[in-house]
Amino acid sequence: MQEDSDGSVLARRKERLRSNSIRGWHHHAVRTKDMIATRAFYEGVLQLPLVGTWTEAYDVIKKTPSNYVHCFFELGDGSALAFFQFEEGMREEPMPMPRDPYEHHVSLGVDTMETVDYFRKRIEEAGAPVEIVDHGYCYSCYTQDPNGIGGGDIYNRSERYRDT
């Protein structure tokens, strides 16, 4: 990380963020084979409220009748992690998630190291794998969700890098 003794890095960041028309995610969606396990993990373990569930009758990609459910789990900024589950036989099985977290992972930010530890304990109690890593600029609690999203983590930035 770059030192910012005169505040110029932070000033450039504030201007860059202000001028960006895209304000953030609405949602990030993933296919699932098991919405019950997915809901138990995201709503039960990570305590993300289920804020929307839609049952759809038309596949907009294949342009055919279909039957699937689309569920949204809300994050603290109003964005969401979303999951689709198709009725058996309506589509092929979802592609397996990459085993290498450098290919795909989700990183969820929290405000304190105590919150990282709180979720580490909840994830361990749920029987999911957990690894804590101190990257120097943040602490990560790595785990894997029921869909195989590997390398997903809950992180907290170190005090030194909080505003960068």
Look at 18 and 4; give whichever has higher pLDDT: 18
Give me the half-sphere count of Cα atoms (radius 13 Å) on the Cβ side of residue 96: 3
Reported as type and span, the H/E element at residue 142 is strand 138-144
Task: Yes or no: say if 96 and 103 are a contact pair by the CB < 8 Å rule.
Answer: no
List, in sequence order, every residue forming a beta bridge with 52; answer none if it has no partner. 72
pTM: 0.81
Q: Is the Cα dihedral 11, 109, 71, 43 positive or negative? A: negative
User: For the chain, what percent of residues have pLDDT higher than 70?
Assistant: 87
Q: Tens digits of per-residue pLDDT, 94-112?
A: 777 766 666 778 888 898 8
Give the helix ranges, DSSP H, for 98-164.
113-125
Look at 153 and 28; give whichever has higher pLDDT: 28
Reported as type and span, the H/E element at residue 68 is strand 64-74
* Domain annotation for the chain: domains and CATH numbers: 24-95 (3.10.180.10), 96-164 (3.10.180.10)
How confident is the model at residue 152, as a pLDDT? 59
Q: Tens digits of per-residue pLDDT, 120-150?
A: 999 999 998 898 888 888 888 888 888 887 6
How confident is the model at residue 45, as a pLDDT? 94
Alpha carbons 53 and 73: distance in angstroms, whole number: 9
